[in-house]
Amino acid sequence: MTHILINGVQIKVEANWCIFLPDNQLNLVITARQRQRLLDWAMQLFTEWVIEGTTFDITHDYDPLWDYSGETVKRDLEELERQEIMRGTLGDWMNEELTGNWSPTFMSGYGKSYDRYFDGIQHHISSEVHELLNVQVSPERWDEVWDSDEWGDAVLALEDTLLDRIAAIPAAEAYRRSEAETRQKIAQREVEVQERQRVVAEWCERSRRFFAKHFRFLSMDSFVDKPAWRKLGLAAQLKKALASADPADIEAVVELGLPGNFSKSVNAEIKQIATEFSNKRK
């Protein structure tokens, strides 16, 4: 049996990785398929970034006097930059490239820390490993696991090893292996976005017609808060209208509410009433 030792934790290097402690009472197993799924996810993330062809720079041109964090500026990736990235590894890429997101630092004079792809990949790996713990550790042993420094070290060792495996992948190989599937997923996502836009447009039109038919006495500009809602008896009016409404119209009201100028609490009640009618029809 071949092992690697990381931070004092032995990891079996075989089809399945098994992290085990000296007492051998509790092991954590990650299969080859689970590891490959993580590698594929990271390679597709990189490949989609290459296909999109944009990158972020940090500019300090607009810094106020009290903060020097800078701002991100999105631009097209130049061909020479792309070629340079392809000569490196995913580790080079994820440590260098910004995602466009930022996290607060709570530091005076430097309020923003701009996220790199390393941060997102590290978080994803951590989430996947903790999900493994959720599946493999029985509820009665959770306190023991979380209170154990040894298990904390073991989990960190596994996360670091997975991160190292991803970082070592040559960028050109990642792109070659993932391009076809990534392009297919991008195309499918675009189809889904277009379909979602079509459905939302239909909801908007149905909600508008429903409002015009049953609440024509209300101006679209008239603000209706909870006191006005109660005073005008609009809840009863809505229920009466929904009782004979087309199911597709009810669905539109459930999803979007009504197009009038309603307060948040009123719009929430509109959706709740519509949801109750929708559930009755099922």
DSSP one-letter code for 65? T
Q: Read off the tokens for 121.
A: 């990949």
Q: Read off the tokens for 208.
A: 């508008």
Q: Which is more confident, 280 or 79?
A: 79
d(CA 103, CA 115): 7
- Which backbone phi and psi does 266 adopt, to 5 degrees? -70, -45
**How would residue 31 be classed by pLDDT, with cut points 50, 70 and 90?**
confident
pLDDT at position 158 is: 85
pLDDT at position 9 is: 47
Q: Read off the tokens for 183.
A: 């392009």
Asked if 266 and 229 touch (Cβ cutoff 8 Å), the reply is yes
- Which backbone phi and psi does 129 adopt, to 5 degrees? -65, -40
For residues 46-76, one letter each, b for 16 or more C-beta atoms within 10 angstroms of the residue's C-beta and e for the rest, the string is bbbbbeeeebbeeeeeeeeeeeebbebeeee
Question: Is the torsion defined by CA of 121, 127, 133, 135 positive or negative?
Answer: negative
d(CA 107, CA 124): 26
pTM: 0.75
CA dist 33 → 38, 207, 220, 232 (Å): 9, 47, 56, 61
pLDDT in tens, 46-77: 999 999 999 999 999 888 888 888 889 999 99
The answer to whether residue 128 scores a pLDDT higher than 80 is: yes
pLDDT in tens, 87-120: 999 999 999 999 999 888 888 888 888 899 999 9
Q: Quick one: how far is CA 156 from the chain centroid?
A: 23
**Mean pLDDT for the stretch of residues 182-202:** 96
pLDDT at position 117 is: 96
pLDDT in tens, 146-165: 677 777 777 888 899 899 99
d(CA 180, CA 122): 25
